[in-house]
Structure 1
Amino acid sequence: MNLLQWVRSIIFIVQATVMLPVIGLLWAPWAMVSKRGAYAGCHAYAGWVIWTAGWMINLRCEVRGTPPDMAALVPAKHQSFLDILMIYHALPSAKFVMKNQLRWSPILGQYATKMQMVFVDRGKRGAAITKMLADVEAGQREPGQLVIYPQGTRSPPGTKMPYKVGTAVLYEQLQQPCYPVATNAGVFWPRRGLYRRPGVAVVDFLEPIAPGLSRDAFVAELEKRIETASDALLKETGVAHLYEKN
């Protein structure tokens, strides 16, 4: 880690934090009257962060594979706030399954509510799944790409966490193509800390899993695809040794 990159990282974080309410307020008049306006505002912010990361901290963001443009289930590896922005920016009509506390966040909560994101209470597993299914069914009148994090939370690069049942339940109910997403974003933009590593952050939309698998078979296939591809992306960074377990 060098001093100049530290300085660049801090400046980048400050401007990205400031631009969230700025862009949110600029798009607010449109967002208040139209869901399209809310989507446009969020795409503008995601694009801004991705663009400024490229020249401010030498972090290029790359999307691989083919993001779906039709109704689809998108279970994704979650390592960083950056992979949220990259996935959102790559999809035309993304709806995220997100924790209920975010509903009350300034600006973000209002935009998420307008776009009919699916809020769940992670502390009440059975009730959360029931409510999630009801909310998803209610929102199916406007098809989009439903993004869910099957592990339920951020996991640092190289770590293994269990895949939860909620994604499999949605897979059974929706009967839509499922596009797994792998990433290495956590290498460059960690969950904690201010340092942003230069390089190429990737989100990779993998080959879809067709509807029809049993619940257990689906979870096994989903985990195999996402973890294998994410491990491969970690090796591409050249710093995989930093995440090896002793």
Structure 2
Amino acid sequence: MKNPLRWILSLLFIVQMYLAMVVFALVYAIPALFSRNWAWAAVHAYCRWVRRTAAVMVGLRSEVRGEVPQDEVLIASKHQSFFDIILIVSVVPRPKFIMKKELKWAPLLGFYAWRIGCIPVDRGKKGRAIAEMKRAVAEGAKVPGQLIIYPQGTRVAPGADMPYKVGTGLLYQQMGKPCIPAATNVGVFWPRHGIYRKPGLAVVEFLPEIAPGRAVGDFMAELERVVESASDRLMAEAGFVARPKG
């Protein structure tokens, strides 16, 4: 078993993190009902709380590098754990996500997702799902903000291979907005599953924008290249040694 004290601290951190989610959601609920600005204030306050308590309780410091997007852009990020969501949302002014349609009925979470303009999508067959996503994004454009998407579609453990899905490229083409790639190393410290949290410096790095107007295939190749190479660099900086591929 890993360090028992650190395991206990990790457990306490996780418990308080979810309790704090409920507290913040309830405190901000009425103002958020009347103003989206209060909904964004709620998610910002909560994410900053998680960052601070992670540093204090388990020694997991965090840092956001690069120029934080302020305009209406598409953010395409590497996704390794819940913590990369926390880091991005803590600094982006008007974050919104593409999410599973079922989540809109989740207590509190569904309410805030609706208020900040998240876009619920029904995951069906591939062609149907992409068409639904494009339609929903067009409707969701009524709420301004930074649309965050995970090109691999799920959390990916450090060192694991997972293809990039073309849906990100189709949204990039549809929106006609710059895409800001984002890399991370958070999975080195905060795994996809389990309780134990490692101390260290978790980083999300915003990379130079990919201008609108590129062909989908060219865009997808460039996106994967820059996100994967930057994420590998950040993970190596954190001491992660990848297994040889092949």
Q: Residue 16 of structure 1 aligns with which residue? A: 17
Distance in 1 between residues matched to 2:128 and 2:20, nearest whole Å? 36
Superposed, 1:142-221 pairs within 5 Å as: 142-221=143-222
Deviation per CA, 1:192-225: give whole Å up to 9, x if none: 1100000000001001101121111010000001
Q: Residue 51 of structure 2 aligns with which residue? A: 50
Deviation at 1:124, TM superposition (A): 3.0
Deviation at 1:101, TM superposition (A): 2.3
Structural RMSD (CA): 1.5
Tell me if structure 2 keeps the 8 A contact 1:158–1:244.
no
Deviation per CA, 1:40-78: give whole Å up to 9, x if none: 111111111011111111101100111110010100000
Which structure 2 residue ranges, 5 or more long, are not aligned?
Answer: none
Deviation per CA, 1:74-107: give whole Å up to 9, x if none: 0000000000111111200111111222212211
Q: Normalised by the size of structure 2, how large is the TM-score?
A: 0.95
Residue 180 of structure 1 aligns to a residue whose secondary structure is strand
Q: Residue 113 of structure 2 aligns with which residue? A: 112
Q: Identity across aligned pairs (percent)?
A: 51
Superposed, 1:228-239 pairs within 5 Å as: 228-239=229-240
After superposing on structure 2, the runs of 4+ consecutive aligned residues of structure 1 that deviate more than 4 Å are 243-246
Q: Residue 88 of structure 1 aligns with which residue? A: 89
Say if 1:84 and 1:244 are closer, same or farther in 2 by CA, change over 3 A.
Answer: farther
Residue 62 of structure 2 aligns to a residue whose secondary structure is strand
Deviation at 1:128, TM superposition (A): 2.2
Residue 78 of structure 1 aligns to a residue whose secondary structure is coil
Distance in 2 between residues matched to 1:205 and 1:137, nearest whole Å? 25
Q: Residue 65 of structure 1 aligns with which residue? A: 66
Deviation at 1:244, TM superposition (A): 5.8
